[in-house]
Amino acid sequence: MGVLDRIGSPADVRRLTSSQVTELADEIRTFLVENVSRTGGHLGPNLGVVELTIAMHRVFDSPRDTFVFDTGHQSYVHKLLTGRGDFTRLRKRDGLSGYPSRAESEHDVVENSHASTALSWADGIAKANQLQGRADRHVVAVIGDGALTGGMAWEALNNIAADADRRLVVVVNDNGRSYAPTIGGLAHHLDTLRTTQGYENVLSWGKKALKRSGTPGRMAYDALHGLKKGLKDVVAPQGMFEDLGIKYVGPVDGHDEPAVERALRRARSFAGPVIVHVITEKGRGYRPAEEDVADRFHAVGVIHPETGLPIAPSRFGWTSVFADEIVSIGRRRPDVVAITAAMLEPVGLKRFAAEFPDRVFDVGIAEQHAATSAAGMAFGGLHPVVAVYATFLNRAFDQVVMDVALHKAGVTFVLDRAGLTGDDGASHNGMWDMAMLCVVPGLRLAAPRDEDTLRRALREAVDVEDAPTVVRYPKGAMGPTIPAVDDADGVDVLARHDVPGGARSVLVVGVGAMAATAVEVGAQLATHGLRTTVVDPRWVLPVQDQLVKLVGEHDHVVTIEDGLVEGGVGAQVARAAAVAGVTTPLLARGIPRRFLAHATRDQLLDELRLRPADVVRDVLAALG
C-alpha cells in the first residue's frame, strides 16, 4: 500500500513523517493525472496546491477549523485527504462534485464556484466564532491571485481588516494565473513580492552599509527612515496589506511543504487576521501542463495521460462560431471592442485579441466592472461586446439595469454556456438569464438555434446603439442547420403540418437550442391528428407582436426553453397574449425553479422531461 491508500481523514495526514509527506505529494499527483484524465475536470489548479493542502491539514484541524476554497475548483486534494478517494465518477451523476459539496463531507462548507466569494464567507464564519466564544477555532480561506481581481474580495478584505481579534488566515495561492495570466495592478503588485529578496534582508543590508560608511547619527537616522519609506512600496509591497491592518507572512515556496507548514503555524499563532502569500506553479509535476502556455490544463476533458492530448477532439461548437463572427464584425466595425472577465480563450475572444490587441479589455474576475465600463465605452462612441458565461452575468445584474439599460447604452452581452451545462453542477448551469433579463426595460435578447442564426444575431445586436442587446447560446458542439420554411414578419417558421381533417391546431415555440426539440414535437403531434406550426422567434425578448398574433391563430400553444420556466420566455409570451386579449391556452416547458445537481446535459433533459416525447405527452394531456 502507498501512503495515499492509508489516508482516511486529516488525522492520518498529521501522523505522517516528513519523508511520508513527500511520498504522499508524489502519489497524489500521480493519482490526479491518472483519474482526471479519465473523467475530465480541473487538473492544473489541483496539481498546483498539493503541498499547500497537505500543510493546511497538518497545521489546522478540519472540520473544527473551517476551510473555504475560492473558487473551489482546487479542492480535489482536499477531498482526497478527507476520505473521498473514489474519483471514478468525478463530476458525474452520483459521483463526486467538481467543487466542495456539503452533501459529500463535513469538511466542505461552501459549495462555491463563482470566484471572489471565499473571503466574505470566511469573514462571516470568523465573526460567528468570535461572537459565540469559539476562540480556539480558525477559519482558513484559500484564494487564488486571479480571484483577488474581483471587487468582492477587496470588500471582504476591507471588513476583515476592521477587526484585529478574529482568527482568520487568508492563504493567497499565487500562481500568476486564473484561466489565463492574471492581469491588473494586483498582479504587478504580487509580481514584485514574488521577485524581490525581501524587506528585512534589504533593510538589514542598508543598516550595515550605513554603519560601515561612518555616517553621523542624525544623518544615518534620516537615511534609514528614507530607506524604510522607499522599501515599503518597492521591495516590501506587503505594506499594502499591512496598512489595512492585516499581518503578512511570505512569500513562501508553495511546493516546499515544511516551509508552508512553518508559515501556517506562524499565522496560526497570531490572534488576528493574517495573509500567507504562497507561490505555486499551476500544473506542477505534470510536464504537459508545465510546458503549456495556453493553460489548456486548467480544465480538461478526457485526455491521454501521457501526452495530455484529448481522446476525442472537440467538435465545431457555438463558441467557435462566435470567435469567427466577432472577428469579421471587428474588421468591418472599428468601433466594436471586446471585454472579458479573465476568460479570453474560454469565451472565444483569443482570435479577436490576436487581430485587434488594442480593442480587447480583460478586466479580471470583475463582471460588475465589465458591465459599467462597457456603458462608459458606449458613451464614448464605442460598441462594447461583453463575452461572459451566462451564469456569471448574474453577478452584474444591477449594472446591466442601472448603468447600461437606464442610460440606453449600446452594449452587447454575449452569453456562452447558456441553459443546461451539467457537469459543473448548480453554479454553472446558465439557466437564470432569460427570466432575470426579461424585467430590464429596453433590453433585447436573441436565442439563436444554429450557426446561421448565431451569426445573424450578432450582426443585428451590434447595430443597436440605444439599448442593451443579449445573444445567448449553449455549451458544446453545434447541431445541424435548421432552415426556416417561411418568415412570419420576423418570426422564423420552421415547419407546418397540415393534417387532413385535423380539428385542432397547436403552435410550438422553440427557444434557441430547443428549436430542434420543437421541430420533433411538431412532427410527433401531427401523427396524433393535430395541425401544428413550429416557430423560432430568434429575438425572444421582448415578445414580438407577430408571435402574439400567431398565438391567437392557434387553439393551443407550447413553448420549450432551456431556462427557468417561471418568469421565462413562455411566461412572457402568455403575459403578452393576455395583454393583447388573446386567450389561447399556453403550456410552458422549461427548467423548474430549483438547483440542479451535477450530471450530463442529456441526463438533465431526461430528468426535467424536456425530451420531445415528454413534451408531446404533456400537450396531449393538456388537450384531454
- In this predicted structure, what is the pLDDT of residue 235? 42
73 labeled binding residue: yes
Give residues with Cβ within 8 angstroms of 423, minimum separation 6: 40, 91, 92, 98, 598, 599, 600
199 labeled binding residue: no
* Spatial separation of the C-alpha atoms in residues 530 and 362, rounded to whole Å: 52
Residue 434 contacts residue 540 (beta carbons within 8 Å): yes
622 labeled binding residue: no
- In this predicted structure, what is the pLDDT of residue 222? 55
Burial, 182: exposed, middle or buried (Cβ in 10 Å; 0-12, 13-18, 19+)?
Answer: buried
Asked if 211 is an active-site residue, the reply is no
Residue 117 contacts residue 45 (beta carbons within 8 Å): no
Asked if 351 is an active-site residue, the reply is no
Catalytic residue, chosen from 257, 261, 325, 367, is: 367
User: Largest Cα–Cα distance in the chain?
Assistant: 110
497 labeled binding residue: no
- Residues in the chain with pLDDT values less than 50: 178-179, 197-200, 202-203, 227-237
Catalytic residue, chosen from 29, 79, 166, 282, is: 282
Catalytic residue, chosen from 91, 92, 137, 395, is: 395
- In this predicted structure, what is the pLDDT of residue 211? 59
518-550 pLDDT, tens digit per residue, is 999 999 999 999 999 999 999 999 999 999 999
239-266 pLDDT, tens digit per residue, is 556 666 688 888 888 899 999 999 999 9
**What secondary structure letter does DSSP report for 247?**
E
Burial, 344: exposed, middle or buried (Cβ in 10 Å; 0-12, 13-18, 19+)?
Answer: buried
- In this predicted structure, what is the pLDDT of residue 466? 96
248 labeled binding residue: no
113 labeled binding residue: yes
- In this predicted structure, what is the pLDDT of residue 324? 95
175 labeled binding residue: yes
Of 125, 128, 138, 109, nearest to 272 by C-alpha is: 138
* Spatial separation of the C-alpha atoms in residues 238 and 148, rounded to whole Å: 15
Which stretch of DSSP H or E encloses residue 375? helix 367-379
* Spatial separation of the C-alpha atoms in residues 396 and 147, rounded to whole Å: 16
Asked if 282 is an active-site residue, the reply is yes
- In this predicted structure, what is the pLDDT of residue 491? 94
163 labeled binding residue: no
